Amino acid sequence: MKAKDYRGLSVEELMQKEKALKKDLFDLHYQRQMGNVEKPGMFKKNKKDIARILTIIREREIEDERNKQSSK
């Protein structure tokens, strides 16, 4: 998914996506250890998607902090 697609999701949905991607990444690492990774490009894709999700979550946290400070 692209960052634009992730921005339309709520924080809870983003957290669920992150958890699912981390599980997929763990499974890929396990497949690598067993010697039968079908799609090695998924490592890079999953890592980038996790980073995108964490970035969007952090952006929202910063925005919320700014809104709280400006409302005081």
CATH number at residue 20: 1.10.287
Q: What pLDDT score was predicted for residue 47?
A: 97
Under the banding of pLDDT at 50, 70 and 90, the label for residue 1 is confident
pLDDT at 72 over 80: no
Kindly report, residue by residue over 8-67, the tens digit of the pLDDT.
Answer: 999 999 999 999 999 999 999 999 999 998 899 999 999 999 999 999 999 999 999 999
Angle at 19 between CA 53 and CA 14, to 5 degrees: 35
Q: Could you tell me the residue range of the domain that residue 42 belongs to?
A: 3-71
Query: What's the whole-model pTM score?
Result: 0.89
Q: Are residues 54 and 18 in contact, defined by beta-carbon separation less than 8 angstroms? A: yes
Closest CA to 24 of 42, 2, 5, 6: 42
As for how many domains the chain has, the answer is: 1
